[in-house]
Copies of this chain bind each other. A is one copy, B any other.
Amino acid sequence: MRIEDIDTPALIVDLDGLEDNLDRYQRYFDEHGIGLRPHIKTHKCLAIAHMQMRRGAMGITCQKLGEAEVMAAGGIDGDILIPFNIVGRHKLERLVALARRARLTVAADSEYTVQGLAAAVAAAGVELGVVVELDCGRTGVGPPAAAAVLAEKIDRAPGVELRGIMTMPAMPELIAETIALFDQKGLPHPIVSGGSTPGCFTAHEISELTEYRAGEYPVGGVAHYRRGTHSLEQNAGRVLATVVSRPTADRAILDAGSKSMSGAVYREEAGWSSMGHIVEYPDARFSGASEEHGHVDLSASDKKPEIGERVQVLPVHPCPCFNEHDEIVAVRGGRVEAVWPVDARGRIR
């Protein structure tokens, strides 16, 4: 089967680009002695997670418990970090059940979360690691003194094991200050976890980091392309689309809208925005989308596509884009090598 035989819209991943990314990011972290803990929320795909583990990933990151359940059941044997406050009886029951089958670390930013975890773990007699999430503007406890107080509570709580800290993204001063406090108090921190793909290649400048969570690096996206961390070839995740309408000389409509690309918009200075980079028409602008229509502005493009033509589009944000799809078509040199389920798609609980 060739790429021409795939109906559109379809999510494709170019295997040469994917493998290149997996290799070069793993190599960087290996060279610097930092663990790479891929964030599977980007691809939600067991096949890619296994490729990451086989290359030396020290475990994986799952944003939700439901993703971790899918990955553990699918044979991911490494340590799983869930950087999320697990709250409420339904999830605590599932968490301890999963902890019997997988090595788990979760994040906490409040006493409420810690008490829930400790009670559930003690009742079930399972092992569970906890890292303190530092406040970087979303969840997290701050300032560092408050983080250290919470860490002491985790350290004293029965059942749970204090494993260190996490931040998103990696914030050098915040990390250094917090670790200094942990050391003063004799609190363990085998995990010091930073994250986000854009900061990957400066991770070695933060000496405290033991590991790094990166999600988008296997497949790229418009921001990575424009920033130059991923060449066009390394932007391996693409939506294959068909031009279904050419209403005017400067307008083309694709059959891939926000339900194929996600609703993510990339904005740059001077009011420029895009919902995807069209590989075959780099001067065309993916100017907007309704749910099933991609709107392309051709005014800056000398070449104009015809109805029926197929194009490849780099998504703005791969994580919600992959989550729109049930399958990933893995291609190499124009041939389909595999069709992989997006195993953890929709696992929001």
State the A residues within 8 Å of B (CB): 7-10, 41, 63-64, 84-85, 87-88, 90-91, 109-110, 112-113, 135, 138-142, 242, 244-248, 253, 255-256, 258-260, 262-264, 290-293, 295, 307-308, 319-320, 323-326, 345-346, 348-349
Contacts and interface: CB of A to CB of B under 8 A. Distances in A.
Given A63-B291, A346-B325, A84 B244 contact: yes
A88 B326 CA distance: 21
Contacts of A307: 85, 87, 110, 112-113
Classify the secondary structure of A's interface with B. Answer: loop
Contacts of A308: 87-88, 112
B290 A320 contact: no
Which of A41, A113, A307 counts the most chain B CB atoms within 10 A? A307
A251 to B, nearest CB: 9
B290 A138 contact: yes
A247 B349 contact: no
A142 B348 CA distance: 43
Given A139-B245, A326-B346, A90 B258 contact: no
A266 to B, nearest CB: 13
Nearest to A319: B291
A345 B291 CA distance: 12
Number of copies: 2
A242 B349 CA distance: 11
A32 to B, nearest CB: 27
A315 to B, nearest CB: 12
A142 B346 CA distance: 40
B259 A349 contact: no
Nearest to A133: B245
A214 to B, nearest CB: 15
A258 B139 CA distance: 16
A317 to B, nearest CB: 8
A262 B260 contact: no
Given A85-B245, A109-B245, A135-B247, A91 B323 contact: no
A299 B168 CA distance: 24
Given A84-B244, A109-B247, A292-B64, A9 B348 contact: yes
Contacts of A264: 263
A19 B226 CA distance: 48
Contact of A7 (B7, B248, B293, B349): B349
Nearest to A109: B245
Contacts of A142: 247
Contacts of A326: 346
A238 to B, nearest CB: 15
Contacts of A90: 7
A131 to B, nearest CB: 14
A85 B244 CA distance: 6
Given A64-B292, A139-B247, 10 more contacts: A7-B91, A85-B307, A110-B245, A140-B247, A142-B247, A259-B323, A263-B264, A291-B319, A291-B323, A326-B346
